[in-house]
Chains A and B, each alone.
Chain A
Amino acid sequence: MSGATAARHTLRIALPAGALFEEACSLLAAAGVARVDPRRLDRHLLAVDGDTTLVRVRPTDVPVYVEMGACDAGIVGKDVLWESSRDCYELLDLDFGGCRLVLAAPEGSPLAEGRWPQPLRAATKYPVSARRFFDSVGVAAELIKLHGSVELAPAVGLADAVVDITATGATLRANHLVEIAEAGRSTARLIVNQASLKTRSAAVTRLAAALRGVVAGGAARQPLGA
């Protein structure tokens, strides 16, 4: 290795705040990559363990940190990658954080009874995926991009339906929405910066192999400090 490629020794990994965060931390601990108490990262956003630096960022920002090379690798839901136009390597399905992107409509609505209104107005936080879905089923839908509480939109007449992520279906049921169709299935993924894969290939390959071992082995993942 040349001098220039040895400039930064530590591997930086971006972790998504929110639903996937604790499991991502325990996966890294189980794989022997880094042991970090998630509660500590909650407060400090950045933690160092040995040769590994972990940062906690918003899920949608994980691909940004990785594409720009601020982090070598990241853990992020496939649902975020669907929406992102960032260019990274996607190396591994980490097989946790499972959820589905679905089209859902109010109980008793025409859509729930199989009649698709034309035009169909759908509220979503996932406009890129929703557009792909509607294109694939040949429906000319009008998309309304929202940033949260999408389930509310049909109740107040903003939209006929929602395209949203669901894990258990509880939020849909609580808002009297029924699933019409599934647009995609998502799990957490390991993504890697294109240059890091080349300039830190040994460290990146070790990281991917260690995570693959835990995922394939289904080893028990106890959150640190639990």
Chain B
Amino acid sequence: MSVLQGPTRGRAGGFSDWVGPAAERRREVTDAFLDTFAAWGYEYIATPLVEPLETVAAGIGGGRQADLFRFMDGDGSLLALVGERTVSVARVVAGQLQGGRFPLRLSYAGPVLFNRPPLGGRRREAMQAGCELIGHAGLEADAECVAVAAAALEAGGLPGVQIDVGHADFIPSLLAAARLDAGSRARVAAALRHRDLVAVEEALEGSEAGAAEKELLLAFPTLRGDRDLLDRAGAQLTDPEPHRVLAELGRLWDLLAAHGITERVHLDLGAVRDWDYYTGPTFELFSADLGFPLGSGGRYDRLLGAFGLEAPATGVVLHVDRCCDALLRSSGENGRRPLLRLGHAPGREREALAAAARLRAAGVAVASELTPTPDGGGAEGAAEAPPPTSPGGSAHAVGPGAASRSARVDSTGTLRWRWHPHSGTGLEGLLAAAAGEGGR
């Protein structure tokens, strides 16, 4: 029988298993993000995978409910698997934490799910880690979110990520200043949302839009640069609202300079974001190795109002799985935490287990050989027993340097070890060799 006719034992389309070094890396990247958020004073909270549909819709808008996995509760009310987690944080703040001391700094991590057709390469489940700064309306809060995101990515092994900073009010302010009739304005806005410059040109052609606004709208994909961009854009505009936005971005740039990260920052006045959800500065994080943003964020001062608490807020979400993709592309491998295999002669379990405990406490990953082996030839050879194979026959111990790290307690109770390129006897020497390369 052809394998194509056999029973399908696969996963649902668009879902992934994570195994081996990739799984380890995904966990490490998530931890690095959460540890960074904690180091900046963000308190971790956990929220459910399931929310009432109306709660989720308050975040992503009614129009995108079709992207969610939806189902019915026992009483007939509609539930959804979360497609992002900021709305859950907002719900918690408006409910349980509204009496707390503002500003609140909260972080989270967890899977989000999308019920999109599983087209090749698109995930339907993704790990996200993020932080929210709630109760502060100032640009200092926006700058902190950008900086904490940059720090988190660096801690996750992605230094030098490009940060694009835009403003949710800029394009709408241009549309207002352009004095378009309602129909043209709706057509231009729709074309911008679809990132379709050809349609923007068609919609603006022959319209009564002001020349300066028209020129900027037609250049929307290329309105990028450093602080000088703000002056160049502002020189062409007369309405106060776009000038307010540009001035805000100027002050934000100066705050980012104080954080020391402006060399990675590009201002992007034409950034296409959800202009109904975001209410101020927005940002996106890019790596040259990946065709998707690694993370994004921005100010969303209206969301908490949907839960009855008027409070300004800003935040960032990092896409852990995409970060892992970018790390794999840039390094070509998933890395593997070095593992020491520790064996022992018959009757020497106690010494071997005690040594393992000391090594683990020092940060060395140790796997104990479960079966004692009689002493072999010389000291070097004894420490290099062949790696055991798994029941399936494939050796899971492969990986750079995996075979060159081994130790064994011989029948005299002596610990003999090999930690490439060193070897010796005794636990203290082994700990020193491990510490010599950072322990792990």
Interface on A for B, CB 8 Å cutoff? 2-8, 64, 66-70, 85-93, 189, 192-201, 205
Task: Report yes or no: A193 in contact with B291, Cβ–Cβ below 8 A.
Answer: yes
B residues in contact (CB < 8 Å) with A = 117, 119-121, 158-162, 164, 194-199, 201, 221-222, 224, 263-264, 266, 268, 284, 286-293, 330
Partner among B162, B194, B268 whose Cβ is within 8 Å of the Cβ of A2: B162
| Chain A residue with the shortest CB-CB distance to B325 | A69
Chain A positions within 8 Å of B117 at CB level = 85
Given pairs A5-B162, A194-B291, 18 additional interface contacts (CB within 8 A) = A2-B162, A4-B162, A5-B287, A7-B330, A8-B288, A8-B289, A64-B121, A69-B292, A85-B119, A89-B197, A89-B221, A90-B196, A90-B197, A90-B199, A92-B197, A194-B292, A195-B293, A197-B221
Q: Are B290 and A92 in contact, CB atoms less than 8 angstroms apart?
A: no
Decide: A2 and B291 in contact? CB cutoff 8 A: no
Given known pairs A3-B160, A4-B158, A198-B224, the reply for A93 and B288 (CB within 8 Å) is: no
Rounded to whole angstroms, the CA-CA distance of A8 and B121 in the bound complex is 21
Known: A8-B288, A70-B291. A88 touches B266 (CB 8 A): no
> Cβ of B291: which chain A residues have Cβ within 8 Å of it?
66-70, 193-196
Question: Are A194 and B288 closer than 8 Å at their CB atoms?
Answer: no
Distance between Cα atoms of A177 and B381 in the complex (Å) = 83
B268 touches A198 (CB 8 A): yes
Is B263 in contact with A195, judged by CB distance below 8 angstroms? no
Q: In the assembled complex, how far is the CB of residue B181 from the closest CB belonging to chain A, in whole angstroms?
A: 22
Contacting residues, chain B, for A68 (C-beta < 8 A): 121, 291
Q: Can you list 28 A-B contacts with CB-CB less than 8 angstroms, sorted by A residue number?
A: A2-B264, A3-B160, A4-B161, A4-B162, A4-B330, A5-B162, A6-B288, A7-B288, A8-B289, A68-B121, A69-B290, A69-B291, A85-B117, A89-B195, A89-B196, A90-B198, A91-B198, A91-B221, A93-B198, A93-B201, A195-B290, A195-B291, A198-B164, A198-B224, A198-B266, A198-B284, A201-B224, A205-B222
Q: B160 and A4: CB pair below 8 A?
A: yes
Interchain residue pairs A-B with the least CB separation, the first 9: A69-B291, A2-B160, A4-B160, A5-B288, A90-B196, A89-B195, A7-B288, A93-B198, A199-B288
Q: State how many angstroms separate the Cβ of B172 from the closest Cβ of chain A.
A: 19
Q: Are A199 and B197 in contact (CB under 8 A)?
A: no
Residues of B within 8 A of A205 (CB): 222
Contacts of B197 in A (CB 8 A): 89-92
Q: Are B224 and A7 interface neighbours, CB within 8 A?
A: no
* Contact call A199/B263, Cβ cutoff below 8 A: no
Residue of B nearest to A69 (CB): B291
A64: chain B residues at CB < 8 Å are 119-121
Residues in B with CB closer than 8 Å to A201 are: 222, 224, 266
Question: What residues of A have a CB within 8 angstroms of the CB of B330 in the complex?
Answer: 4, 7
Contact between chains at B286 and A199 (CB < 8 Å):
yes
Q: Which residues of B contact A87 (CB under 8 A)?
A: 195
Output the least CB separation between A75 and chain B (Å).
Answer: 13
Give the one of A2, A4, A87, A194 with max B CB within 10 A.
Answer: A4
A151 to B355, CA, bound (A): 78
Q: Which of A4, A85, A90, A189 lies in contact with B289, CB distance below 8 A? A: A4
Most buried by A among B194, B290, B291: B291
A87-B272 Cα distance, complex, nearest whole Å: 12
Given the complex of chains A and B, what is the CA–CA distance between A5 and B158 in angstroms? 11
Is A7 a contact partner of B292 (Cβ separation < 8 A)? no
Report chain A residues within 8 Å CB of B289: 4, 7-8
Which B residues touch A66, using CB under 8 A?
Answer: 291
Q: Please, which residues of chain B bring their CB within 8 A of the CB of A198?
A: 162, 164, 224, 266, 268, 284, 286
Task: Report Cα–Cα, A196/B290, bound state, in Å.
Answer: 9
Q: How far is the CA of A92 from the CA of B159 in the complex (A)?
A: 34
Distance in Å from the Cβ of B115 to the closest Cβ of chain A?
14
Set B121, B162, B201: member contacting A199, Cβ < 8 A? B162
Q: Give the complex CA separation of A7 and B162 in angstroms.
A: 12
Name the A residues within 8 Å of B201 (CB-CB).
Answer: 93
> How far apart sit A26 and B160, CA to CA, in the bound complex (Å)?
38
Shortest distance in angstroms between B119's beta carbon and chain A's nearest beta carbon?
7
| Nearest-CB residue, chain B, relative to A93 | B198
- Please name the residue on chain A nearest to B271 by beta carbon: A198
Among B121, B194, B196, B288, the residue within 8 A (CB) of A4 is B288
Cα A3 to Cα B117 with chains together (Å): 36
Shortest C-beta distance, A220 to chain B (Å), equals 24
Query: Closest Cβ of chain A: how far from B72's Cβ, in Å?
Result: 27
Task: Give min CB distance, A12 to chain B, whole Å.
Answer: 11
With beta carbons under 8 angstroms apart, the residue of A5, A85, A196 that contacts B160 is: A5
Closest to B121 in A: A68
Nearest CB in chain B to that of A197: its residue? B221
| Bound Cα distance from A194 to B271, whole angstroms | 10
Q: Report the bound CA distance from A2 to B153 in whole Å.
A: 14
Q: A189 contacts which chain B residues (CB < 8 A)?
A: 198
Q: Which residues of chain B are within 8 angstroms of A93 by Cβ–Cβ distance?
A: 198, 201
Q: In the complex, which residues of chain B have a beta carbon less than 8 angstroms from the beta carbon of A69? A: 290-292
| CB atoms of B195 and A90 under 8 A apart | yes
List, in ascending order, chain A residues with CB within 8 A of B224's CB. 198, 201
Q: Which residues of chain A are within 8 angstroms of B287 by Cβ–Cβ distance?
A: 4-5, 195, 199
Closest to B194 in A: A90
Chain A residues with Cβ below 8 Å from B195 are 87-90, 194
When chains A and B are docked, how far (Å) is the Cα of A205 from the Cα of B290?
A: 19
Q: Which residue of A lies closest to B120 (CB)?
A: A64
* Chain A residue at minimal CB-CB distance from B158: A4
